[in-house]
């Protein structure tokens, strides 16, 4: 007798079992893992592996720019084109640093004040951004514990008049600015400036108006009406050479 051949139903069953197991595995992972976080860390690891060797060489050579505190020192070190050299070195720094920060869950690239001792830096960043939004709106800090209910899902396309504006100096990828907007509400226009075009590429995907600018190059005449309702920076003060001049601006 000839061996019995598997029917069409058996073939479909052989295909269906692996697919169902894969779907079950993905669902199981979703219960225990933050898929967005997994994607971001995977994306960061991919970029770290794909960066050319020259990017790391430029990164290591970029840190000498931070040893110069004044415009005169920079000009003596790099010549008449010192502004272009300075911006280029800052870009080389962040081209590498941003991906390593994302790999360890520090995409916003600043260490928040320790509001909650049992929470990590990311949770304390959100608490700080909530406090910052409250200060911008009311001029006062809120000592009450932060709750996730303070967040709002802001639709960037909503027909709500933008009556107030906030500017972040050194906005990076715009993550803090976007979080701040969720606390401020839809009537606030979010604005940011940063000198690294690679980071701004990600920031432009968020509901904010961002520009490639060096915060040390003043005046900020690109801002309409030369006025905002509030301005802040998170760590970018490291690059500010004249704090009094910035305060006046």
Place 19 in a pLDDT band, splitting at 50, 70 and 90: low
Given the structure tokens 């260490």, which residue do they identify? Answer: 111
Distance CA 120, CA 117 (A): 8
Q: Could you report the per-residue pLDDT of 49-104, keeping only the tens digit for each?
A: 888 999 999 999 988 888 887 888 888 999 989 888 888 888 888 888 888 888 88
Residues 228 and 184: beta-carbon distance below 8 Å: no
Count the neighbouring beta carbons within 10 Å of the beta carbon of residue 197: 12
Q: Report the mean per-residue pLDDT for the chain.
A: 78
pLDDT of residue 158: 59
Ranking 12-26, 43-57, 121-135, 215-229 by mean pLDDT, the lowest is: 12-26
Q: Is the pLDDT of residue 207 over 70?
A: yes
- What's the rounded mean pLDDT across residues 108-114? 84
Count the neighbouring beta carbons within 10 Å of the beta carbon of residue 245: 12
Q: Concatenated DSSP letters for 1-63?
A: -PPPPP-HHHHHHHHHHHHHHHHHHHHHHHHHS-HHHHHHHHHHHHHHHHS-HHHHHHHHHHG
- What's the rounded mean pLDDT across residues 133-140? 79
């Amino acid at each position: 007798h000839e061996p019995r051949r598997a029917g069409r139903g058996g073939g479909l069953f052989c295909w269906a079992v692996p697919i169902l197991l894969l779907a079950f595995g993905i669902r199981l992972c979703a219960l225990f893992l933050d898929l967005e976080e997994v994607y971001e860390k995977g994306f960061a690891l991919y970029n770290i592996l794909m960066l050319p060797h020259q990017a790391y060489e430029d990164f290591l050579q970029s840190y000498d720019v931070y040893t110069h505190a004044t415009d005169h020192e920079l000009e003596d070190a790099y010549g008449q084109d010192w502004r272009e050299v300075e911006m280029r070195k800052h870009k080389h720094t962040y081209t590498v640093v941003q991906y390593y920060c994302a790999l360890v869950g520090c995409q916003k690239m600043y260490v928040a004040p320790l509001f909650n001792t049992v929470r990590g830096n990311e949770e304390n960043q959100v608490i700080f951004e909530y406090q910052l939004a409250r200060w911008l709106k009311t001029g006062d800090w809120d000592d009450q514990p932060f709750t996730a209910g303070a967040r709002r899902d802001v639709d960037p396309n909503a027909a709500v008049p933008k009556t107030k504006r906030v500017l972040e100096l050194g906005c990076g990828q715009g993550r803090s600015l976007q979080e701040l907007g969720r606390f401020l509400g839809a009537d606030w226009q979010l604005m940011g400036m940063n000198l690294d075009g690679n980071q701004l590429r990600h920031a432009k995907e968020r509901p904010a108006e961002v520009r490639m600018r060096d915060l040390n190059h003043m005046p900020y005449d690109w801002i309409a009406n030369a006025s905002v309702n509030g301005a802040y920076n998170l760590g970018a003060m490291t690059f500010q050479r004249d704090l009094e001049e910035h305060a006046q601006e």
